[in-house]
């Protein structure tokens, strides 16, 4: 399979995840978004899968990127929606609208935090939810 034919995944990080590494380190740790991108790409490349990355603090930009993913033939989306997890019907509709399977990722475990973080607009439609593993949740466990 050539690079052009490689299966592609899209990794999306939502609002405030550009601050990983400096943002509330006791909750989110000290690794940066760049570390996340490296980990995800390294993990995927072991399976000959490519990863496109995108981060935005803007709901509409994320929705537009999800729409673009369909045109690009992206096979799966990995998304840490940040706070949009708990607020965005629009994000849910975008993911369902493009019919691309997705995995929801959180660095922290929202269920062990404030009550307003316990509900997700995405989880019931996600293939899987990975939460509370820190940045390692974007990679693959060694086994």
Ligand X SMILES: O=C1C[C@@](O)(C(=O)O)C[C@@H](O)[C@@H]1O
Catalytic positions, written as ranges: 28, 106
- Token digits of residue 63: 């929705």
**CA angle, 64 then 21 then 129, to 5°:** 55
Per-residue exposure over 98-134, b if at least 16 CB sit within 10 Å of its own CB, e if not: bebebbbbbbbebeeeeeebeebbbeeebeebbbeee
Q: Does 106 bind ligand X (CB under 6 A)?
A: yes
Place of tokens 């592609």: 8
For ligand X, the binding residue among 18, 32, 108, 136 (CB under 6 A) is 108
Count how many residues are written for the chain: 143
Give the footprint of ligand X on residues 65-84 (CB under 6 A).
Answer: 80, 82-83
Which is closer to ligand X, CB of 24 or CB of 140? Answer: 24
Query: Least Å distance between CB 108 and ligand X?
Result: 3
Candidate residues 6, 7, 16, 32; the one interacting with ligand X per rule CB under 6 A: 16
CA distance 38 to 42: 6
* Selected binder of ligand X within 31, 78, 110, 139 (CB under 6 A): 110
User: Which 8-state DSSP code applies to residue 85?
Assistant: G
The nearer residue to ligand X, 50 or 90, going by C-beta atoms, is: 90
Q: Using CB under 6 A, which of 55, 56, 85, 88 touches ligand X? A: 85
The reply on whether position 139 binds ligand X by CB under 6 A is no
Q: Which is nearer to ligand X, 16 or 32 (CB)?
A: 16
Chain residues in the site for ligand X (CB under 6 A): 16, 80, 82-83, 85, 106-108, 110, 117
């Amino acid at each position: 399979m050539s690079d052009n034919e490689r299966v592609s995944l899209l990794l999306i990080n939502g609002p405030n995840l550009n601050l990983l590494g400096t943002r509330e380190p006791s909750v989110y740790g000290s690794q940066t978004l760049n570390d996340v991108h490296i980990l995800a790409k390294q993990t995927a490349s072991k399976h000959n899968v490519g990863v496109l990355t995108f981060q935005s603090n803007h709901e509409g930009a994320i929705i537009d990127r999800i729409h673009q993913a369909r045109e690009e033939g992206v096979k799966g989306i990995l998304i840490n929606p940040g706070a949009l997890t708990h607020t965005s019907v629009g994000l849910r509709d975008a993911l369902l609208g493009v019919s691309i399977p997705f995995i929801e990722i959180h660095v922290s475990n929202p269920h062990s935090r404030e009550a307003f973080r316990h509900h997700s607009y995405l989880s019931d439609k996600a293939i899987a939810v990975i939460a509370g593993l820190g940045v390692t949740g974007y990679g693959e466990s060694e086994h």
